[in-house]
Amino acid sequence: MRVLFVEDNDDKKKEILALLRKYGLDNFCMNDNTRDCYYAATDCDYDLFICDLDIPRNGSFPIVEDELEGINLMKDLLRNGILIPTIIFSPVELSESRLNQLKGAGYPLIGHAKNASELDQCMEEKFFDPVETVEEYLALAKIPPRFRKKEEASN
């Protein structure tokens, strides 16, 4: 299982890494800005995305007034058909309507965790149990699985 995450705070990076290791996950890509995270998401297929909301843009996306860069990143991934089950990991408050807008647009949003214990709970309840694979999660969410270039190329 491959995990992509974007976080610019060193303490929170350590919390995420500890949780990934708790679940036996060691195949991950860590970024600290939206530009690098976007390119990582387009270069490889990931099974889980952990996204901070208040991250540096680093020149990658047009500035949208009153918008958090993590939201801009998720919208850009969606526009380009890159659907990765996502947990928002950020203390930033988001309204239910904003979360529902992402879900309603077809973005595979699993949940929003404001701290490490909520992230742990979200990963355990909404990603690992009872769904065993990303394909099962996507089927439950009625989202078609992403085209996996590497698997197609090897066949």
Query: pTM for the full model?
Result: 0.75
Please report the pLDDT score of residue 40 as a whole number.
92
Structure confidence by residue, pLDDT tens digits, 88-139: 998 888 878 888 888 888 888 888 899 999 998 888 776 665 555 666 656 6
Contacts of 44 (CB under 8 A, 6+ apart): 2, 4, 29
Please report the pLDDT score of residue 124 as a whole number.
79
Give the residue extent of every domain in the chain.
2-154
CATH of domain 2-154: 3.40.50.2300
The alpha helices in 30-95, defined as continuous H runs, are 34-43, 69-79
The percentage of the chain sitting over the pLDDT mark of 70, rounded to a whole number, equals 74
pLDDT at 55 over 70: yes
Which pair of tokens denotes residue 4?
């992509």
CA pair distance 4, 117, nearest whole angstrom: 19
DSSP 93-115: ---HHHHHHHHHTT--EEEEESS
Query: Residue 125 in 3-state DSSP?
Result: helix
Please report the pLDDT score of residue 44 as a whole number.
86
